[in-house]
Homo-oligomer: A and B are copies of this chain.
Amino acid sequence: MDIKNIVLIGSGNVATNLGFACVQNGFTIQQVFSRNLEHGQELAKKLNSAAISSIQEISTKADLYIICIKDSAIAELSKNFRSGKLVVHTSGSVHIDEISEISPNFGVFYPLDTFSKEHKQDFKNIPICIEANTKQNEIILSGFASVFSDNITFMDSAKRAKVHLAAIFASNFTNYLYSVAENLLIENGVSFNIIRPLIQTTAKKVLIDSPQKVQTGPAVRNDTTIIEKHLELLKTKPELYELYKTISELINKSANEQL
């Protein structure tokens, strides 16, 4: 089966990035479904597509339906949407079977990246985790994925959920730590720019090495003098005080377990 026409279910960060990548690779986005018609229209316009806001309007004529909505909204969609065609979701943590009622042909197309509407991602190096309910659908889906990325992995739902969990630590939580640093700098009249090179170096180091191996800082050295000074600086910010203390203890513990 050849995929040409796609319906995009959702209009958020993943839908936007995937929509652009589809169009760039010659696919047609037949419709963009969004509960929020305005958001849907905004994206549909950019993709030369049509926006719809009710499930009943979803065309039956597309070749592939890609669900890119909040995990908590998938259950509701699953109650109301029926298709005979291939339907996939793009979530790290939703089990493949959660969309099994929608169609006899279903699967998962999970791009392991962090997407923002503002940053269009090149999918070439993004790992795409694939799962499908039949061998044939798996073949169709991996053919489709290979148009976008050179990095395709077959993975069941249990394993994918754990990969997603790891991604939360490595990306969402990491970004939060960047924003903690940003706030500490700004309130001391220092530009976030001063720390941008360090962030890049820290990320680049683990391109080759294991993070455990390249861990540096007062916690891994057990330099209690610095740790005490830092806790003193954080004493007016109880949440960051606790976070600093907790992560330092975990780093130290992890280093001792390595010995």
A residues apposed to B, CB below 8 Å: 13, 70-72, 93, 112-116, 118-119, 121, 125-127, 151, 153, 155, 159, 161-182, 184-185, 188-190, 192, 194-207, 209-212, 214-221, 223-226, 229-230, 233-234, 239, 242-244, 246-247, 250-251, 254
Contacts and interface: CB of A to CB of B under 8 A. Distances in A.
Nearest to A202: B171
Given A113-B197, A197-B127, A180 B184 contact: no
Given A194-B163, A215-B175, A243 B233 contact: no
Contacts of A230: 93, 164-165, 168
A94 to B, nearest CB: 8
A234 to B, nearest CB: 7
Nearest to A246: B243
Given A188-B162, A223-B72, A215 B176 contact: yes
A167 B214 contact: no
25 contacts: A70-B223, A71-B223, A72-B223, A72-B225, A114-B202, A126-B197, A151-B197, A153-B194, A155-B190, A161-B229, A161-B233, A163-B194, A165-B230, A165-B234, A167-B195, A168-B218, A170-B180, A173-B244, A174-B174, A174-B199, A178-B211, A179-B212, A181-B211, A200-B204, A202-B203
When all copies of this chain in the complex are counted, the total is: 2
A172 B219 contact: yes
Nearest to A215: B175
A115 B126 CA distance: 29
Contacts of A192: 206, 210
Nearest to A243: B246
B13 A216 contact: yes
Given A171-B216, A175-B214, 20 more contacts: A93-B226, A93-B229, A113-B197, A113-B198, A114-B205, A114-B217, A165-B184, A166-B190, A166-B195, A170-B195, A172-B215, A173-B247, A173-B251, A174-B174, A175-B211, A176-B251, A178-B206, A196-B206, A199-B203, A243-B246
A245 B46 CA distance: 38
A109 B104 CA distance: 66
A201 to B, nearest CB: 6
A125 B200 CA distance: 11
A181 B180 CA distance: 20
Which has the most chain B C-beta neighbours within 10 Å: A118, A155, A214?
Answer: A214
A147 B13 CA distance: 44
